[in-house]
Amino acid sequence: MRRLLADRLVAATAVVVILMSVVFALSRVAG
Amino acid sequence: MTLYTLRGAVWIIVYLVFILAPLFALLLGSHPPARDFWTEFAVAIGYSGLAMMGLQFGLTARFRFVTQPWGEDVIYHFHRQISLVAVGLVVAHPLILLAVQPELREMPSFLEVPWGARFAFLSIFCLITLVVTALWRAKLRLSYETWHVAHVALAVIAVTAGFLHMLGWSFYLGDPWKRSLWIVLPILWIGLLVYVRIVKPVFMLRRPYRVVEVRKERGDTWTLVMQPDGHPGFRFRPGQFGWLTLWGSPFKITGHPFSFSSSAAVTDGRVEMSIRNLGDFTRGIHKVPVGQRVYLDGPYGAFTIGNPADMHVLIAGGIGITPMMSMVRTLADQGDQRPVFLLYASRDWDSVTFREELEVLKGRVDLTIVQVLANPPADWTGERGFITAEMFKRYLPTPYADHEYFICGPGVMMDAIEKALGELNVPMSKYHSERYAFV
């Protein structure tokens, strides 16, 4: 079950990193 | 929220900061003119992927304050899964660039491309090899020892090449401080490896152990009894494990993780590990001579006895009995009378490791044992087959959610039991599991 929690953390980390990369790119294009 | 949960949450935030802060630092100060969205996005995931790969060295550096809230097996599971995300980001980086910048598709031959791009090829090649060999080690018939050496070498080459690719391109690293930041980071990542492989072994070299007894147990299992040689040793909590280097020096790259099976209440530093012959490194345990010098790195693991007020349900499959044995022996030595229920699955009656001693321990601990045999003898009247949710219902008092569950055994068994406990509405905070095949 803790591994399931770890899997969710992996998924959440992936989403956060991709979203932050979008934010990075948008801030460059907009800035 | 428990202290462990809080520490876990803090560590996830720290982990994300280590990945994202160096990326967003590139937005500070002066920077080159912006390009289109997809080019900037591709660059961002390239930097993030590289930072994630570098932090992999931190996840496996065996820092107790990092692993404690989760358990070592979960950290290694996270390490394996997050590597797929990191490699995905790193591979997507050039693919997006190739898609949005047609001029890149008209590159000259490999020998003529800029050296920064060559390092990118090398890094991606090593990363893909790293993932393939890690996911399919058994199918590729790589021994654990060969794989481990190759794994470390490929990881160092991949991260170094990725770093050199970044320096070679250098689009965002015009400011000296940004360049310095992204030079210091890989040095820190590789430094973590140096800490695990060189600094820590130096300390272990000064704290050796001697094998004082090699004891045969049931089920093709041998117990190594080890005494600290010239130092007081360490104290562990029942259920924890250590990395054993049996042959050679602690600088040898392949330590093997084993649970301590002895009582944690002993005060002379003596520790025991009970190891089943599984046909690999464990094949030679019975040949270890008394007096052999060995090295132990430990203790590690969050799989340890919980709240004394709760009933403890220990669920062991095969050699997964070893941490449970340490728990029961420790409770006996401490005169702890909390109720303990042991559900113990084995292949057959003859291979039930510690069978006789467990019967004796019933006289010292409030211990109930249910043996489950896959191949029982003809006159067997006990449980047979595999551990199921029905067995919990037959033997455990309700409410099930009031007990603490400790599960150790083969992966398939653990998956089935965790599912069964979920069906009985046992909350996740009441499960404690340790997968001994986590590397």
Q: What is the mean pLDDT of chain B?
A: 89
| Domain ranges, ordered by start, for chain A | 1-31
In what helix (H) or strand (E) does residue A12 lie, and over which residues does it extend? helix A2-30
What pLDDT, on the 0 to 100 scale, is given for residue B1?
52
Tell the CATH superfamily of the B209-300 domain: Translation factors (2.40.30.10)
Q: With CB atoms and an 8 Å threshold, state whether A17 touches B81.
A: no
The arithmetic mean of pLDDT across residues A11-25, rounded, is 96
Give the count of beta carbons closer than 10 Å to the beta carbon of residue B41: 24
Hey, is the C-beta of B89 within 8 angstroms of any chain A C-beta?
yes
Q: DSSP for B225-256, please give it.
A: EEEESSS------TT-EEEEE-SS-TTSS--E
Q: Which of B40-44, B172-176, B279-283, B316-320 is predicted least confidently? A: B279-283
Q: With CB atoms and an 8 Å threshold, state whether A21 touches B44.
A: yes
- Tens of pLDDT along B12-38? 899 999 999 999 999 998 888 889 999
What residue has token string 């045969």?
B216
State which fold the B312-434 domain adopts: Rossmann fold (3.40.50)
Structure tokens at A8: 């969710």
Contacts of A3 in chain B (CB under 8 A): 73-74, 77, 433, 435
Q: Which of B82-96, B120-134, B179-193, B421-435 is predicted least confidently? A: B421-435
What pLDDT, on the 0 to 100 scale, is given for residue B4?
60
Q: Which residues of A touch B (CB under 8 A)?
A: 1-3, 5-7, 9-10, 13-14, 16-18, 20-22, 24-29, 31
CA distances from A9 to A15, B116, B189 (A): 10, 33, 22
Give the count of beta carbons closer than 10 Å to the beta carbon of residue B354: 24
Q: With CB atoms and an 8 Å threshold, state whether B40 touches A14.
A: no
Q: How confident is the model at residue B272 (pLDDT cuts 50, 70, 90)?
A: very high
Q: Which of B73-87, B118-132, B250-264, B367-381 is predicted least confidently? A: B250-264
For residue A6, give how far its alpha carbon lies from the nearest alpha carbon of chain B (Å). 6
Hey, is the C-beta of B438 within 8 angstroms of any chain A C-beta?
no
List, in order, residues 6 or more apart from B178 with CB less than 8 Å away: B25, B26, B28, B29, B172
Whether residue B269 is predicted with pLDDT greater than 80 in this model: the reply is yes
Among residues B289, B291, B361, the alpha carbon closest in space to that of B330 is found at: B361
Q: How confident is the model at residue B388 (pLDDT cuts 50, 70, 90)?
A: confident
Q: How confident is the model at residue B437 (pLDDT cuts 50, 70, 90)?
A: low
| Domain ranges, ordered by start, for chain B | 3-204, 209-300, 312-434
Hey, is the C-beta of B354 within 8 angstroms of any chain A C-beta?
no
For residue B83, give how far its alpha carbon lies from the nearest alpha carbon of chain A (Å). 9
Whether residue B345 is predicted with pLDDT greater than 80 in this model: the reply is yes
Q: With CB atoms and an 8 Å threshold, state whether A20 touches B24.
A: yes
- Domain B3-204 annotated CATH 3.90.550: no
What pLDDT, on the 0 to 100 scale, is given for residue B152?
92
Closest residue in A to B52 (Cα) is A17
Higher pLDDT, B103 or B244: B244
Give the count of beta carbons closer than 10 Å to the beta carbon of residue B331: 25
What pLDDT, on the 0 to 100 scale, is given for residue B332?
96
What pLDDT, on the 0 to 100 scale, is given for residue B436?
60
- Tens of pLDDT along B39-72? 999 999 999 999 999 999 988 888 877 777 777 7
Sheet of B209-217, strand order: B256-259, B241-245, B293-300, B209-217, B221-228, B271-276
ipTM for this model: 0.96
Q: How confident is the model at residue B422 (pLDDT cuts 50, 70, 90)?
A: confident
Beta strand B241-245 pairing with B293-300: antiparallel
What pLDDT, on the 0 to 100 scale, is given for residue A19?
97
3-state SS class at B392: helix
For residue A2, give how far its alpha carbon lies from the nearest alpha carbon of chain B (Å). 7
Portion of chain B with pLDDT greater than 70, in percent: 96
Whether residue B414 is predicted with pLDDT greater than 60 in this model: the reply is yes
- Tens of pLDDT along B161-185? 999 999 888 788 888 899 899 999 9
Whether residue A2 is predicted with pLDDT greater than 80 in this model: the reply is no
Hey, is the C-beta of B125 within 8 angstroms of any chain A C-beta?
no
What pLDDT, on the 0 to 100 scale, is given for residue B246?
87
The arithmetic mean of pLDDT across residues B97-112, rounded, is 79
Higher pLDDT, B63 or B332: B332
CA distance B36 to B438: 43
Hey, is the C-beta of B12 within 8 angstroms of any chain A C-beta?
yes
Whether residue B76 is predicted with pLDDT greater than 60 in this model: the reply is yes
Whether residue B210 is predicted with pLDDT greater than 90 in this model: the reply is yes
List, in order, residues 6 or more apart from B248 with CB less than 8 Å away: none
The arithmetic mean of pLDDT across residues B94-108, rounded, is 84
For residue B437, give how far its alpha carbon lies from the nearest alpha carbon of chain A (Å). 13
What pLDDT, on the 0 to 100 scale, is given for residue B217?
96
Q: Which of B77-81, B334-338, B371-375, B387-391 is predicted least confidently? A: B387-391
Sheet of B367-373, strand order: B383-384, B367-373, B340-346, B312-317, B404-408, B431-434
The arithmetic mean of pLDDT across residues B223-242, rounded, is 94
For residue A10, give how far its alpha carbon lies from the nearest alpha carbon of chain B (Å). 6
Higher pLDDT, B342 or B101: B342
